[in-house]
Each structure stands twice: as structure tokens, then as C-alpha cells.
Structure 1
């Protein structure tokens, strides 16, 4: 049996573009993605799934219609399915995302910021 260890810092170091998630690994029917974030994303929702954000470095604000959630390093927040949200970061944020395979980053709105999921390695 081969044991394959993945390193989050190395994976994030391989990413040069913002808002372009890369699949680090998968577990069951979920992808674990690494992403760099800076600026403001688009308001969107994921009607059929929750979305977990874990900040590795930086400060991420997840704007919600009823108030903002601010995450720092090692903080985790789950945006419940169907809740409209818009992530933003004044400075670079490095984060992990946990979502079902096939989840589109722009959810139900699509548009220019829709990413093609990329594989690391």
C-alpha cells in the first residue's frame, strides 16, 4: 500500500490565480479544494449543498444578507445550502473549501468568475 501525504502549504504555493479552486484530494463524494482569494467575488447561492470555508492565512469576510461573518486563520464557517453569500478579502487569503464533487464556485449565477476545477500535481 502506498501512503500519499499532501501538504496544504505546498498546494497553495502552486496556485498563482485568485478565485480558481484546485482539487487537493477527494473523500467519498466531496472535494477538498485549495484556493487563493483577493477582492470581492459574486453574490450567489448553492441551492443543494452547504459550503465549508477554512481559512489558512489572511482574513476572509463572507457577506450574508443579514450580516457579515469574518474568518481568520484556522477559522471554519459553513454557509448553509440556499443562503446567498459573497466572499471578499481586502488582502490575499489562502483557504480550504469542502464541497460535493461537481460544485460550481459561482453556484446558481455563473458568469465570468466561474472556474474550471483544476487538479494539483
Structure 2
């Protein structure tokens, strides 16, 4: 999956339309570098074994936590600590980049119904 050629994130984001369906841009060590287009609300979930890194590439992303929320704009980075319940959302839409261990399911421990606009996945190749 690792490429010797540069990867343009704008071109990578333009290559798909699906929301909440991360694409694996590359891998570094045992981590996926994933990008996604998001709009609306994701599901409440937890990743018990890993922190989750978010970088907003475009738009605005809100990460709801049990007792607060964090508003992120283009260029902002936020890490959700492992074991912390959270729900990302974006009213107007956003493009994000995430670092997650290879094989991590984006919906974490969520075991209820998953809305049709959300793909429960370990990421898809570009």
C-alpha cells in the first residue's frame, strides 16, 4: 500500500463521494492514514485499544464527548483518548484525515443499528 510517489490529498478526496466511508491513503508502520468526507452525525462509539487522531482538511467537524464537545476547523488537530466515547459530526460537511492502527473498525464498539449513510469498515483502498 505504501507508494514511492507523492499522494495529492485533494485528488484523493475528489476520487470518491461516499460519506463516512474512509479511504486508506497510505500506511506508516502499523497505522493507516485514512481520509473521509463527512456530513451529518456519526454513531457514538469507543475505541478501547487506541487513541483516534483527527485532522480537519476542509470544513468544520464537531466531536461530541460525554460531557463536552470540541469544534474543529480547517487545520485543527484533535486526539480522542483511547476508551473515550465520542461522536463526530459535521452540519455543513467536512473532509478529514485520521491515523488509526491497521484493521481498526471506524465504528469501534458500536453495536446498535448503524444508519444507512455510515459504512462500518476498516477502510477501503483509494
Flag whether TM exceeds 0.5 (same fold): yes
CA contact (8 A) 1:15 1:35 kept: no
3-state SS, counterpart of residue 71 of structure 2: strand
CA contact (8 A) 2:47 2:84 kept: yes
Residue equivalent to 1:23: 24
Report the TM-score, using the length of structure 1 for normalisation.
Answer: 0.94
Quick one: which of 111, 115, 120 aligns to 2:121? Answer: 115
Instruction: Spell out, residue by residue over 1:52-72, the C-alpha distance to the aligned partner (whole angstroms, 9 max, x if none).
Output: 000000000000011000100
Residue equivalent to 1:47: 48
Greater shift after overlay, 22-31 or 101-110? 101-110
Matched ranges for 1:21-100 at <5 A: 21-100=22-101
Q: Unpaired segments of 5 or more residues in structure 1? A: none
3-state SS, counterpart of residue 69 of structure 2: strand
Shift of 1:117: 1.9
Residue equivalent to 2:107: 106
Q: Unpaired segments of 5 or more residues in structure 2? A: none
In the alignment of these two chains, the number of paired residues is 119
Distance 1:94 1:67 in 2: 22
Give the aligned CA root-mean-square deviation in angstroms. Answer: 1.3
Report the TM-score, using the length of structure 2 for normalisation.
Answer: 0.90
Instruction: Spell out, residue by residue over 1:79-114, the C-alpha distance to the aligned partner (whole angstroms, 9 max, x if none).
Output: 000000000000110010101000101000144331
